[in-house]
Structure 1
Amino acid sequence: MISSIFTPSFIGNFTSPGPILFQLGPFSIRWYGALIACAVIIGLGLSQYLAKRRCINPEFLSELMIWLVIAAIPCARIYYVIFQWSDYSQHPERILAVWRGGLAIHGAILGGIVASLLFARLKQIAFWQLADLVAPSLILGQAIGRWGNFFNSEAFGRPTNLPWKLFIPLDHRPVGYEKYSYFHPTFLYESLWDVIVFGLLMTLFFHDFKARSHLKLGTIFLLNLISYSLGRFWIEGLRTDSLMLGSLRIAQFMSLIVILLGLVGLSWLYILSRSLPDVISKRSLEDS
């Protein structure tokens, strides 16, 4: 099954081989779940490595990752279900079927921030210090997780005849698009954009480490939010399955909010030359 993805026709005209990675009788492993698991494992290893480079106990990141998984995935699902309630109210048994897809990144971000704030407060660690260490893992995990949309034949864009067009089976096409076979692979656009953002964050992290210029706490995390949201705003405009509130694309609205907050945060750091508010006092932060 895996080899069928990389046939010569994949480049320029590709289609999902299906959502199932492995099946043995009634037992099955789906690509979506496997990719999320891989993203968590890789993200944990990366954040621990970055913590060591900053002389921070990597075990804090192991504990934090548990908090993030417990908070982010349910919040991502709840966020998605709320804005798709007209569908899920008809099939409530599908609400818990996370393996079928339907996780909203903005819900995950909100849940993860709340969990991280509580964790930082409990452990008496600067929230922004943790956020900077986790940011590269988050965007890399998003790049990996987006491929789950490919295997589920979801999160694609408008019809297109571009060389990298994506074939979508008839039963996955939105109402009104049944006559079209090929669509923008917006999952791929976002995954590639996330890889670019990941490269930017890692470059900043290691340049700062080598130059010992010490970027202010929160800089990497804020740049992650701004950079991701810029790409997401454009990509969301191509999609046919956006979460909507009336005529408003929720992801685009949230992206604008996040960009604004990120710019305010950077201005606070580098124009006003002040530290971002944190869950521990300035004295505790300096001692750490």
Structure 2
Amino acid sequence: MTAWTLTAWTLAASIPSPDSGVWYVGPVPLRGYALCIILGILAAVWIGDRRWRARGGSAGDVADLALWAVPFGLVGGRLYHVLTDAELYFGEGSNPVTALYIWRGGLGIWGAIALGAVGVAIGCRLKGIRISEMLDALAPGVLVAQAIGRWGNWFNQELFGLPTDLPWAVQIDPAYRPSGYAEFATFHPTFLYESLWNLAAFGVLIWLDRRFRLRHGQMLAAYVMAYTLGRGWIEMLRIDQVQLIDVGGLRFNVWMSLIAFALAAAWFVWSRRRQASRPVGSEPPSLDR
């Protein structure tokens, strides 16, 4: 098989990227990235509401909290991205105003989760809801939101991985290939890997909750562990330029995954032991009003 034939076969078998990530309804632009984020949020609210009501909560609580969590999460996600990739917005020849162009992509999950949780905490405080119980109810749905949201990277042709000729490789147009990779046409679809990982992790978390009745922040900790376990190895495949911490040459987000996993695991073990040490019948009510 000649090199030309092999290249043609790889392109035919690979995943094509969209010709455009923007469609117009009259003068109104509809952006694939934004639609994925919105669909993810709606899925997280729906799943969270079902889980919250199954735990004895009131219908509408999750939707009310979303009014706090969503804007906080978007701001946190954008801040994290801008701070860790500051040279894109404040370096030589860049325009700081583009830091506000959220529709172009660039939401850091760590910032989104951190400030989104702050938004949830504020809403819970105002409504008299126990924060840990609400976060446990919401956590699995966040994985589904992330799985859907990752497809926004496909529309933007961004955050892909190393070159590969695997059948499920994604085609990237020359304009979107980073420096040093211009001669390659297909790359690891890391957005797809993370999307599938998150959906699988969602299933595992739902099973764990039914089997072991995770409470007191344990489901939230399990979510962090499940997500970071996948994010760590997927991150190692990516070739986009990000800030590095000069310890072992690992990418910044890999270190964040390692730290978050360790903290979540410690909390999970401590919480489970504390729960097991309580006398039977001493468990407090799961919901506060």
The normalised TM-score by structure 2 is 0.86
Residue in 2 aligned with 1:26?
Answer: 27
Is 2:33–2:104's contact at 8 Å kept on the other side of the alignment?
yes
Matches within 5 A, 1:43-54: 43-54=44-55
Counterpart residue number, 1:264: 266
**CA RMSD between the two structures:** 2.3
Distance change (3 Å), C-alpha of 1:221 and 1:12: farther
The amino acid across from 2:254 in the alignment is Q
CA deviations over 1:180-226 (Å, ceiling 9, x no partner): 11110000000000000111122233x25xxxx64332121111100
In structure 2, how many angstroms separate the alpha carbons of the residues matched to 1:242 and 1:191?
21
Gap change, CA 1:159 and 1:217, over 3 Å in 2: same
Q: Shift of residue 246 of structure 1?
A: 4.8
Q: Distance in 1 between matches of 2:47 and 2:31?
A: 24
Total equivalences in the alignment: 269
1:187–1:49 Cα change, 3 Å: same
| CA-to-aligned-CA distance 1:12-59 (integer Å, 9 cap, x gap) | 311211443531343210111111111111221111111111110122
Aligned pairs (5 A) from 1:190-201 = 190-201=194-205
- Say if 2:251 is the partner of 1:252: no
Structure 1: 5+ residue runs without aligned partners?
1-8, 276-281
The SS at the match of 1:215 is coil
8 Å CA contact retained: 2:225, 2:261: yes
1:242–1:249: 8 Å Cα contact kept in structure 2? no
Retained in 1: the 8 A contact 2:133–2:286?
no
* Amino acid of the structure 1 residue aligned with 2:74: I
Residue by residue over 1:230-272, the C-alpha shift from the partner in whole angstroms, topping out at 9 and shown as x without a partner, is 0000000000015313544111111111101111111211234
Structure 2: state its 5+ residue gaps.
Answer: 1-9, 278-282
- Asked whether the 8 Å contact 1:20–1:28 carries over to 2, the reply is no
User: What do the CA deviations read for 1:109-135 (whole angstroms, capped 9, x no partner)?
Assistant: 111122222222232221110111111
CA distance in 2 between counterparts of 1:135 and 1:27 reads 34
Q: Distance in 1 between matches of 2:53 and 2:284?
A: 23
Aligned partners of 2:20 and 2:139: how far apart in 1? Answer: 28
Deviations 1:97-119 (A, max 9, x none): 11111111111011112222222
Specify the code of the residue in structure 1 equivalent to 2:229.
L
Query: 1:124-148: per-residue Cα shift (whole Å, max 9, x none)?
Result: 2211101111111100000000000
CA 1:115 to 1:274, structure 2 compared with 1: closer, same or farther past 3 Å? farther
1:144 equivalenced with 2:151 (yes/no)? no
Identity, in percent, stands at 36
